[in-house]
Structure 1
Amino acid sequence: MDLLKQMNDALDYIEDNLDEAIDFNQVALIAQCSEYHFKRMFSFLAGIPLSEYIRRRRMTLAAMELKSNEIKIIDVAMKYGYSSPNSFARAFQQVHGLMPSELKEQSTSLKSYPKLTFQLTVRGVDEMNVRIIEKNSFSITGIKQRMRVIDNDVDPEVVKLWETMSEETINELANLSDLEPPGILHVLTDYTSEGEDEGEIDYYFGVATTQNTPDSFTRLEVPANTWAIFEVEGEWEAIEDTWQRIYSEWFPSSKYEHAEAPEIVSSQDQISEIWIPVRKA
């Protein structure tokens, strides 16, 4: 699949630049998707965040150099992007279980993490209920919060927002809902980062509406797009599981790619829908 080739080409670029500051704009260009989409796809396919994979690969190469060469620890630390021996030593110990200074003093096994290559594997026969629609531009009204992207998990600050949401606010939003996607919406858009670590993204708790936006809420304009809509029954864990399968199974085997617009989860009457913006690959 072209998507897997693009992902592997991007991994080749990362591998060739482990001893430099990795340009994630270039990674996104090679992968032909946004940095956010690439990191999300990588995490779901590999089972670990991209930042952790890069750290493990660098520490694997660093250990090989320290074991086989008469080279100073500070020089290896600088080579792999660490500004101080202490920060390098902490990362090294997390991966290998010992300090770099102990490497030549002990006969011990070191962890080795090989370069990854993605291949398409058919896993099971669980069906995914999906439909493709075209939808004109529309507006979302709700509460906006900047959230951290934490290994594809929910930011605790967003969980706190959910837990403290008043019944009055939820009812006010519900009364504004008059468009698809139906019901209360969870919306993710406008990802930014400054390097290898996970970044930040705008989160909206709101509804799709044609009505005016009250002063207490924020408005988001969503452009016209093609949407792949996945129906999910169950609690939030079922939504997360389906979201992972969209990235790890559906995208690699479909003829679509991410269109870099907001992603939306709608919930109504015990049924949820995941709206993913797509375009033909």
Structure 2
Amino acid sequence: MVKAEYIRKRKLTLAAQELASSSSKVLDIAHKYGYDSPESFAKAFRKLHGIAPSDARKTGVSLKAFPRITFRISLKGDKDMDYRIVEKDAFNVIGKAIETTSVDGENSRDIPRFWQESNQNGTVGNLISLVGGADAVLGICMDMAMEKGTFTYLIIVENKIPATGYEHAGGPEMESYPEGDVNADDYRCEVWVPIVKM
């Protein structure tokens, strides 16, 4: 990708983000990102994102993103990435966590290993069973300590316990590992969740 093309796509990425998250006029955003007319902006926007600029404000619409290029060992940001902004009500989750770090790419080894182990030892299946089924299993990064490069990574499912007439009591959750061969196919552990009647 040549420099001018990347710059154009990066500007259209930022314009789409601004359209989706603000009430600024399309014309003002077009001028801000270097377009002389709303027509030329709309044409370029539609070519990259596949929709009109005004449609970028619709909930759930897919947009393309060209991330800022960063220089390390390799060049990143030269590939497009589809994304969409979706509003979602708050929800409770239950899961398992590890602490990891981005220093020396440790997280790129820890997280795949964590998923592999959690699938093999039944943790993911147990979480899904505990909540009575899950539409999706999610990975979450949180508690980022940017100066240290450390963060918490969780494998979680949406906690559907309220459907049973109970809700989370807010206390700690515990995992119980009975004696036995934890690598055996029939080994089962338990997750104890504090609940109260709704």
Question: In which range does the TM-score fall when normalised by the shorter chain?
Answer: 0.3 to 0.5
- What TM-score do you get using the length of structure 1 for normalisation? 0.29
- What TM-score do you get using the length of structure 2 for normalisation? 0.39
Q: RCO (CA 8 Å, sep 6+): is it higher in 1 or 2?
A: 1
